[in-house]
Amino acid sequence: MPGMGYRSVATRSEDFRQVTGWLDAIPEESKMKTIRNSILCLGALLVMGPMLRAQDLSKYRNFSLGTSVAAVLRYTEQNSTDVNVTQPGPSLLQEVTWWTPSIRGSSLRPDSVERILFSFRNGELYKMSVTYDQSSTEGLTSADMVKSISVKYGPPTSVSPESDSTASDRYDAKERVIASWEDSQNSFNLVRSTFTDRFGLVIYSKRANAEAELAIAQAEKQEKQDGPKREAERQKKQIDDLDVARQKNQKSFRP
Whether the predicted pLDDT of 151 surpasses 80: yes
Burial class (CB in 10 A: 0-12, 13-18, 19+), 13: exposed
pLDDT value at residue 25: 59
Q: What average pLDDT does the segment 118-133 reach?
A: 97
CA distance 221 to 78: 33
Altogether, the residues listed in the chain come to a count of 255
In this prediction the pTM is 0.67
Question: What integer pLDDT is reported at residue 7 of this predicted model?
Answer: 52
> Residue 206 CA to chain centroid, in angstroms?
9
Average of per-residue pLDDT across 2-27: 53
Strands, sheet with 186-193, edge to edge from the N-terminal-most edge strand: 84-87, 93-99, 113-121, 124-132, 199-205, 186-193, 175-182, 158-159
Residue 141 has pLDDT above 80, yes or no: yes
pLDDT at position 166 over 60: no
Output the average pLDDT for the chain: 82
Query: What's the pLDDT tens digit per position in 152-165?
Result: 999 999 998 765 54
pLDDT band at 13; cut points 50, 70, 90: low
User: Do residues 88 and 70 touch, judged by C-beta distance below 8 A?
Assistant: no
Instruction: Quote the pLDDT of residue 19.
Output: 47
pLDDT confidence bin for 33, thresholds 50/70/90: low
- Tens of pLDDT along 171-212? 455 789 999 999 999 999 999 998 889 999 999 999 999 999
Beta-bridge mates of residue 203: 128, 188
- Any residues with CB less than 8 A from the CB of 60 and at least 6 apart, and which? 128, 130, 188, 201, 203
